[in-house]
Structure 1
Amino acid sequence: MLLKLPLIISIAGVSGGGKTIIAKYLTERLHNSKTLYFDDYEFDGPDDIIEWVDNGANYDEWNLAPLIRDIESLLAEPLDYIVIDFPFAYKHSKISTLIDLAVYIDTPLDIAMARRVIRDFKNSPNKSILIEMENYVSAGRRGYLEMLKSIKPNSDIIVDGSLTVSKITDIIYEAIIRLSD
């Protein structure tokens, strides 16, 4: 199989699932690669994520033009790999055609939520954490379940997000090497 270079690898998963750290470690392991991080962008998208989920979660409602421009710019560089920390895998039609391998980090929701609280509420009062937990229970969890329903089955490989970062990176790296052979 003759693959185009650079190979574009998408790392998807729920918030707190480990996408960013896995993308970082994978890029360090892959020679001649660059990474784009979803959270580095401000996108025009749905104002209310839960309402968006309840209305069918049309991923094309997100205007991902800045990310697409950056991917296309990197395609002109002499790279072997582009890793994108991108939660939608193949579900956005304008990016799906660019992706060669979509990986879903399948992190148990309790671990993902614990990571989010640790990451996002380090210096916050307890009340802020309780409000976030109430929001998750009352509505936010539906957004996480949407990822499990739509993104996970639309990925090429699914990796257990409760494994160590090193083990997850090894599994993805091996899949990339198999794809490249």
Structure 2
Amino acid sequence: MSDFMTTVIAVSGPPGSGKTTLARALADALGNAASIHMDNYEQMTRKPLDEVMRWMDDGAPFDDVPMPGLEEHLARLKAGDSVVDPATGLKVRPAPYIVFETQFGRAHPGTGRHIDLLVWLDTPADVALARVLKAHTSAACREAGEAGCSGRMAWLDSYLENYLKLVARLVSLQRDKVRPGAEIVVDGTRDPAVLVGQLLRDIPRYSHRPLDP
């Protein structure tokens, strides 16, 4: 498999925009696709909040975000080599399509240069926040025992504090730095099945190969 025969389709959007859901549905619909996720490589979220805040105050240079191995893995997949996901330990095999879930799109120089097609999920910040909150409050209700629910609620309280200090600013930066590089912008409030249908119609215009009928 050569670089020419491999198309990397990146799915980007703010936290809670539905990137994971859309990326999974798109990979399933394409059929001959591998999936790779930035979240399984990045280490910025492990840093103390004050260190992340300094990064934001310095202009949030995306190329300073540590993502060891991700650029290499994208290059190897495009070259036809398998890689091992560092988070799951599972082998990711090369395929005609690579669906790449990423916060940064082409705004991260190292990984962005491997992207052939960037899809931006245009989701209002309040909808994205509501989705994150709903996911965790629903999980709290499903968990047995008061301690489990209390743990979830503690996470929720911390997330809201961080959202006000940090995430809202990052969402604004994403719109400024990532969205303009997208060939396709889709409405993140629509049903994923509708979005996949739109993408299957649009991808052949940018892909190195036509989709199978």
TM-score (norm 2): 0.75
Deviation at 1:137, TM superposition (A): 2.6
For 1:80, the equivalent position in structure 2 comes to 96
Change in CA separation of 1:132 and 1:44 when aligned onto 2, cut-off 3 Å:
closer
Q: Which amino acid aligns with 2:10?
A: S
Deviations 1:152-175 (A, max 9, x none): 122222111001111111222222
> Secondary structure of 2:5's partner?
coil
Q: 1:65 deviation in Å?
A: 3.5
1:71 Cα deviation after fit: 1.5
1:54 maps to 2:57: yes
5+ long unaligned stretches in structure 2: 81-93, 141-148
Equivalent residues in 2 for 1:119-158 (5 A)? Answer: 119-121=135-137, 122-123=139-140, 124-125=149-150, 126=153, 128-158=155-185
User: Could you say if the C-alpha distance between residues 173 and 53 of structure 1 is closer, same or farther in structure 2, counting changes exceeding 3 Å?
Assistant: farther
Q: How many residues align?
A: 179
Choose 1 or 2 for highest CA Rg: 2
Task: Report SS of the residue matched to 1:114.
Answer: helix
Kindly report the root-mean-square deviation, in angstroms, between the aligned alpha carbons of the 2 structures. Answer: 2.3
1:116 to 132, 140, 145: 132
Which of 101, 108, 111 is equivalent to 1:95?
111
SS of equivalent to 2:106: coil
- The alignment-based identity, stated in percent, is 28
The AA in structure 2 aligned to 1:100 is D
Matched, 1:31 2:19: no
**Superposition deviation, residue 20 in structure 1:** 0.9
